[in-house]
Amino acid sequence: MAARSEALEIDVEGEQIAGTFLEPLAKMPGVLFVHGWGGSQEFDLTKAKDLAGLGCICLSFDLRGHGETLAQQQTVTREHNLKDLLAAYDRLVEHPHTDRSSIGVVGTSYGGYLSAILTSLRPVKWLALRVPALYRDEDWHLPKRKLDRDELNRYRNSRVTPKENRALAACAAFTGDVLIVESEHDAFVPHETIMNYRAALQKTHSLTHRIIDGADHGLSEEHSRQAWKDILVSWAEEMVIGARLGERRDRYL
């Protein structure tokens, strides 16, 4: 964990020797987890605990239409859920120990789509997208359950540019670090969608793309879930520790 240093002199037998106090920094990175459609915060708690072990303040939450508000699923729109995400983000950065300049977001499927849009509305340093979905900008206010599935499948299998899509436009402007994780046998988010995201992410500080072999969209097999956890924790460790080392170098320059 990063530390604040303070040089001092220690008196001993009429002489002084040099020393340095090291104490933990008061602020820690914050990580927000955004589940997919039909999921819940429970899907992310184990991974959140692992990232908390790296010294991060983590927040998982239920989008409206999920968890205790499942009854709203027939009427909830993308606008509703984006507002949920903004409220959760704001709650995370309000935590007294959260470093507002070091916020990461981990989004899955529908949550990945919303997370991409979030980067255009709030500061985000690290963005992890697992099987990020893609939706047409049209019908933004239409309840998500009423979207045409066949039309969505055609859209996700086509070439889409940032000029045509709000989430991809946000990705095109994003300058932080990005992790994209794809499932080899995904029946909902095809490879073409992943490549649309990759093509949009041209200004990133770094871009990591991983494919979980044999995995389906929902990671129904335990080995696939473990692979996703390992990929995320390894990447987060690299990002968080790298940032702390950079802070330490800056203090000594």
Spell out the residues 6+ positions from residue 68 whose beta carbon is closer than 8 angstroms to its own.
Answer: 62
Q: What are phi and psi of 236, to 5 degrees?
A: -65, -40
Burial label for 178, CB within 10 Å (0-12, 13-18, 19+), is buried
Number of residues written out for the chain: 253
Distance between CA 198 and CA 127 in Å, rounded? Answer: 13
How many domains is the chain built from? 1
Distance between CA 162 and CA 129 in Å, rounded? Answer: 17
pLDDT in tens, 188-239: 999 999 999 999 999 999 999 999 999 999 999 999 999 999 999 999 999 9
| Residue 225 resides in a domain | yes
| Residue 68 resides in a domain | yes
- Indicate which CATH number applies to the domain containing 172: 3.40.50.1820
3-state helix, strand and coil shares in percent for the chain, rounded to the nearest 5: 45, 25, 35
| Residue 184 resides in a domain | yes
Spell out the residues 6+ positions from residue 137 whose beta carbon is closer than 8 angstroms to its own.
Answer: 164, 165, 166
| Residue 16 resides in a domain | no
Distance between CA 21 and CA 8 in Å, rounded? Answer: 7
Q: Is the pTM of this model over 0.75?
A: yes
| Residue 35 resides in a domain | yes
| Residue 112 resides in a domain | yes
Q: How many CB atoms lie within 10 A of CB 231?
A: 18
pLDDT > 60? residue 187 = yes
- 134 contacts 196 by C-beta, under 8 angstroms: yes
| Residue 14 resides in a domain | no
Mean pLDDT within 153-180 = 98
Domain hosting residue 169, numbered range: 27-245
pLDDT classification of 247: cutoffs 50, 70, 90:
low
Order the strands of the 98-108 sheet from edge to edge. 57-60, 28-34, 98-108, 126-130, 177-183, 206-212
* pLDDT (0 to 100) of residue 253: 44
DSSP category for residue 62: P
Per-residue tokens: 90 = 């704001």
* pLDDT (0 to 100) of residue 6: 76
Q: Which amino acid is at 187?
A: A
| Residue 6 resides in a domain | no
Token look-up 């670090």 returns 177
Provide the sign of the torsion angle of the four alpha carbons 245, 250, 251, 253, taken in this order.
positive
pLDDT in tens, 152-162: 999 999 999 99
pLDDT > 60? residue 107 = yes
Distance between CA 128 and CA 89 in Å, rounded? Answer: 15
Find, among 37, 38, 34, 65, the residue nearest to 47 by Cα: 34
pLDDT in tens, 94-106: 998 899 999 999 9
pLDDT > 60? residue 248 = no
pLDDT > 50? residue 171 = yes
